Amino acid sequence: MIGRISRPMKRGAPLQRRTPLRATTWLKQAAGLVPSPFRKKRAKRRPVAERRFAEACRGEPCYLLISGAPSHDSDTVVACHSNQLAHGKGKGIKAADEKTVPGCAWCHHELDQGKRLSKEERRAYWDAAYARWVPVRALKLAGMEERE
């Protein structure tokens, strides 16, 4: 309707509640006395065979070795998952645990959120680290299976 000026609607009387508010239920919920009406999500279950790949990264040195790191501290080493679509990475989906490499906190940050590296450089660092890590991981997993 071109050319018409719209006017705001006027209400004759203020809105009235038909039932009174019950603040006590919300206060009890905030205190944790009443269970929440919302269902909690169950933790995602991953197969044990998958978890062992990520657990193999514990106690290992950093394999990413991104240049410019202040130190590749072994105390902060975690399993760094691949960010490549070919390895199953997607929006809100982590790549399979098989595609992990041990990396220190600094390198892991640069690989995932850092601004210094281009996409191709990130892929090259991860692929090189994965190529070095796979034979070491195979030996480590074989040793873990023998002990069980």
pLDDT in tens, 3-59: 666 666 676 777 787 877 665 665 666 666 666 667 777 777 766 667 788 888 888
The answer to whether residue 84 is domain-embedded is: yes
The answer to whether residue 40 is domain-embedded is: no
Angle, helix 119-147 to helix 105-112, in steps of 10 degrees? 130
The answer to whether residue 139 is domain-embedded is: yes
Domain count, the chain: 1
Residue 85 is part of which domain span?
48-147
The confidence score (pLDDT) of residue 27 equals 61
The answer to whether residue 107 is domain-embedded is: yes
The answer to whether residue 37 is domain-embedded is: no
d(CA 62, CA 122): 15
The answer to whether the predicted template modeling score (pTM) of the entire model surpasses 0.85 is: no
The count of C-alpha atoms lying within 13 angstroms of the C-alpha of 126, restricted to the half-sphere facing its C-beta, is 21
The answer to whether residue 78 is domain-embedded is: yes
d(CA 1, CA 92): 44
The answer to whether residue 42 is domain-embedded is: no
The answer to whether residue 142 is domain-embedded is: yes
pLDDT in tens, 88-146: 787 877 877 788 899 998 999 998 888 888 889 999 999 999 999 999 888 888 887 67
Largest CA distance in the chain: 84
d(CA 103, CA 62): 4
Residue 66: is its pLDDT beyond 70? yes
What single-letter DSSP state applies at residue 118?
-
d(CA 110, CA 25): 46
